Amino acid sequence: DSGVTQTPKHLITATGQRVTLRCSPRSGDLSVYWYQQSLDQGLQFLIQYYNGEERAKGNILERFSAQQFPDLHSELNLSSLELGDSALYFCASSSPSRASGGGLRTDTQYFGPGTRLTVL
Amino acid sequence: GENVEQHPSTLSVQEGDSAVIKCTYSDSASNYFPWYKQELGKGPQLIIDIRSNVGEKKDQRIAVTLNKTAKHFSLHITETQPEDSAVYFCAASKTARQLTFGSGTQLTVLP
């Protein structure tokens, strides 16, 4: 168990609908990352938040949006859903740490169990 | 942006044999290289990682090597067991940034 939780585990909806996926990071982690895993595209980065602020964006569609709340949980909103949006959506969390030389170390990311979205 | 290539896409080994998975990356600024194991219906699980200031790291039966000059890194699993069967992903990133993943290797350990 990574300590990252995601709800719901499964979601089935129709084209054109809107859904919200929820992620709770590990205790103490400030960064949340969202990834999409599909058969043809593999694991693709969508968006990163750090302590409530957007930090980086990947190939996230304009129909998708996310936010991170003061309690550090994050939500990914997917709207005007299309068949091609069917995929596994993962959330990962991490915390920065200092290297022995004082510089910022790259975070280790811990993944949640994912939400399987099926668009019919 | 970063591009990570992973080979092979499938790998079958006999129980007790070794397995090697290789990845190359394109961005010389990448400095963090984790490996994840993903079992069916589960999220990726970190199994080992290496940072650009070291060339090799080992944890029991698992080892990772990094060649910064050639921009490639490899996962080595020795004495494979049936429970090692899963999809393995390599990834690369820069400091405090998102991971770019390889396409995955389906490892099957035959009893």
| pLDDT tens, position by position, A77-90 | 999 999 999 999 99
Nearest residue, CB atoms, B95 vs list A90, A92, A106? A106
Structure tokens at A91: 């959330």
Q: Are the C-beta atoms of A72 and A30 separated by less than 8 Å?
A: yes
Nearest Cα of chain A lies from the Cα of B44 at a distance, in angstroms, of 6
The whole-angstrom distance between A5's CA and the closest CA on chain B is 11
Contact B9, B105 (CB under 8 A): yes
Q: Is it the case that residue A49 has pLDDT exceeding 70? A: yes
- How far are the Cα atoms of A20, A88, B1, B35 from residue A72, in angstroms, in the given order? 16, 22, 28, 26
* pLDDT of A104: 54
Secondary structure (3-state) at B58: strand
Helices and strands of chain B, counted as H and E runs: 0, 11
Inter-CA distances, B55 with B90, B97, B105, Å? 16, 21, 22
Residues in chain B within 8 Å Cβ distance of A110? 46
Task: For A50-74, give one letter per residue: b (16+ CB within 10 A) or e.
Answer: beeeebeebebeeebebebeeebeb
Comparing alpha-carbon positions, the chain A residue that sits nearest to B44 is A111
Instruction: Please report, for chain A, how many H helices and E strands are present, in that order.
Output: 0, 13
Amino acid A101: pLDDT: 56
- Is residue A103 predicted with pLDDT exceeding 60? no
For residue B77, give the nearest of B67, B89, B64 by alpha carbon: B64
Cα(B72)–Cα(A97) distance, integer angstroms: 25
Residue B49 has pLDDT above 60, yes or no: yes
What is the rounded average pLDDT for all residues in chain B?
A: 94
* Contacts with B40 (C-beta within 8 Å, 6 or more apart), sequence order: B86
Is residue B13's pLDDT more than 90? Answer: yes
